[in-house]
Amino acid sequence: MLTTRAPAKINLTLHVLGRRAEDGYHELESLVAFTGAGDVLSLEPGPGFGLEIEGPTAQAAGSGPDNLVLRAGENLAARVPGLKTGRFRLRKTLPVAAGIGGGSSDAAAALRLLATANGLPLEDPRLLEAARAAGSDVPVCLDPHARFMRGAGEHIGERLALPPLPAVLVNPGVAVETGPVFRRLGLAPGARCDGGAHPVIASGMEAEAFLSALVRGRNNLEDAACLVAPVIVDVLSVLRAAKGSRIARMSGSGATCFAVFSTRRAASRAAAAIKAYHPGWWVRPAMLR
Ligand SMILES: C[C@@](CO)(OP(=O)(O)O)[C@H](O)COP(=O)(O)OP(=O)(O)OC[C@H]1O[C@@H](n2ccc(N)nc2=O)[C@H](O)[C@@H]1O
Ligand SMILES: Nc1ncnc2c1ncn2[C@@H]1O[C@H](COP(=O)(O)OP(=O)(O)O)[C@@H](O)[C@H]1O
């Protein structure tokens, strides 16, 4: 049995640069980081693909052929003749349709497990192709470390060493689909946006320099997502008001938002205080990397 983690993806920034005429997808520039924890996926090698799923958000994710774990597996099998397959077991704890790429990270985890079972290096181009075919966010989740993502997610930058980023993640329990949030931007195919250049972020930046660059970035989907799910406005104001919070922003197309704190202790305290006032919200302290 092979096992790997499928950590949550956080878009520390998400700049929308325009909308492509060819396929209607939006061109992005996004600084992505990952949490330590997340879903857990195992593979028991054997004939054909199968999926068992359990955990608090298993039902919302679904175990049918549309589950991104199975889609990713089939995508790779279509590209690698004689691929060794097997039965996946997914422990699903990340909220679903939450802007933290849980399904994408599960799909990437499935590809990593299949790569190991088949002796394929992570750099095998067929893995990247199978990832792209499963969804825009899957390629960046293949090797879950902080980096830039560009295009509609198909261009992945080098790993970046970020300073320690103690954070709190909050999801208010409202599922937000990605497509409708992009549509709310109202960009015509071929349109370009001029929201200002992305702040310069370099590997090895010291914490204060990194945070002052980060605050000059943005998530262009925030306003559109707040129209779809107005509770995001409350989540952002709670995170901004939390003691020791340095920056609060939405991840992806929402509804999960994050705040970064100067210390782990401040993040843990803020998480406990938010949870006490909002017992129905999913609240997690996390180190981002
Ligand atoms: C917004 C982001 C940011 O990381 O994350 P999430 O909020 O989903 O976590 C991603 O770009 C989402 O990636 P993913 O969730 O894999 O999206 P996909 O399944 O490929 O696309 C869902 C729908 O969103 C729209 N879409 C997606 C990506 C993109 N760059 N432009 C788009 O217009 C398209 O309408 C597409 O049909
Ligand atoms: N393994 C999976 N985990 C979560 N959602 C999944 C999975 N497989 C398929 N899905 C579907 O993918 C869609 C997006 O889910 P998810 O990846 O959690 O969204 P987001 O990227 O916004 O966090 C949902 O509608 C869900 O039904």
pLDDT tens per residue across span 8-62: 999 999 999 999 999 999 999 999 999 988 999 999 999 999 999 999 999 999 9
In this structure, the number of other CB atoms found within 10 A of the CB of residue 1 comes to 10
Residue among 9, 138, 176, 178 whose CB has most ligand 1 atoms within 8 A, to mutate: 178
Q: Which domains does the chain have, with CATH numbers?
A: 2-156 (3.30.230.10), 165-288 (3.30.70.890)
Residues 221-245 as b or e (16 or more Cβ within 10 Å = b): bbebbbebbebbeebbebbeebebb
Can you give the pLDDT at residue 194?
84
**103-157 pLDDT per residue, tens:** 999 999 999 999 999 999 999 999 999 999 999 999 999 999 999 999 999 999 9
**228-280 pLDDT per residue, tens:** 999 999 999 999 999 999 999 999 999 999 999 999 999 999 999 999 999 99
Does any ligand 1 atom lie closer than 6 A to the CB of residue 246? no
Of 9, 39, 92, 106, the catalytic one is 9
Asked if pLDDT for residue 67 goes beyond 90, the answer is: yes
Residue type at position 119: G
- Which ligand has the minimum distance to the alpha carbon of residue 23? 1
Does any ligand 1 atom lie closer than 6 A to the CB of residue 99? yes
Does any ligand 1 atom lie closer than 6 A to the CB of residue 139? no
Residues paired with 91 in a beta bridge: 40, 54
CA 152–ligand 1 middle distance (angstroms):
8
Can you give the pLDDT at residue 12?
98
Residue type at position 226: C
Can you give the pLDDT at residue 246?
98
Can you give the pLDDT at residue 195?
85
- The residue contributing the CA closest to ligand 2 atom 25 is 97
Does any ligand 1 atom lie closer than 6 A to the CB of residue 101? yes
Can you give the pLDDT at residue 288?
97
Can you give the pLDDT at residue 185?
97
Annotated binding residues for ATP: 95-105
Residue among 22, 136, 219, 250 whose CB has most ligand 1 atoms within 8 A, to mutate: 136
- The residue contributing the CA closest to ligand 1 atom 32 is 25
CA distance 283 to 209: 27
- The residue contributing the CA closest to ligand 2 atom 14 is 97
- The residue contributing the CA closest to ligand 2 atom 12 is 103
CA 168–ligand 1 middle distance (angstroms):
23
- The residue contributing the CA closest to ligand 2 atom 3 is 103
Can you give the pLDDT at residue 37?
85
Residue 283's pLDDT band (cuts 50, 70, 90): very high
Q: Is 137 a catalytic residue?
A: yes
> Between the CA of residue 15 and those of 94, 154, 199, 222, what are the distances in Å?
24, 15, 11, 11
Asked if pLDDT for residue 76 goes beyond 90, the answer is: yes
CA distance 176 to 102: 13
Can you give the pLDDT at residue 102?
98
What pTM was estimated for this model as a whole? Answer: 0.98
Can you give the pLDDT at residue 137?
98
CA 182–ligand 1 middle distance (angstroms):
8
Of 66, 124, 137, 234, the catalytic one is 137
Match 């310069």 to its residue by tokens: 200
Nearest CA to 100 out of 12, 29, 19 is that of 12
Concatenated DSSP letters of 176-195: --HHHHHHHT-PPTT-B---
Can you give the pLDDT at residue 83?
98
Q: Is 223 a catalytic residue?
A: no
Does any ligand 1 atom lie closer than 6 A to the CB of residue 178? yes
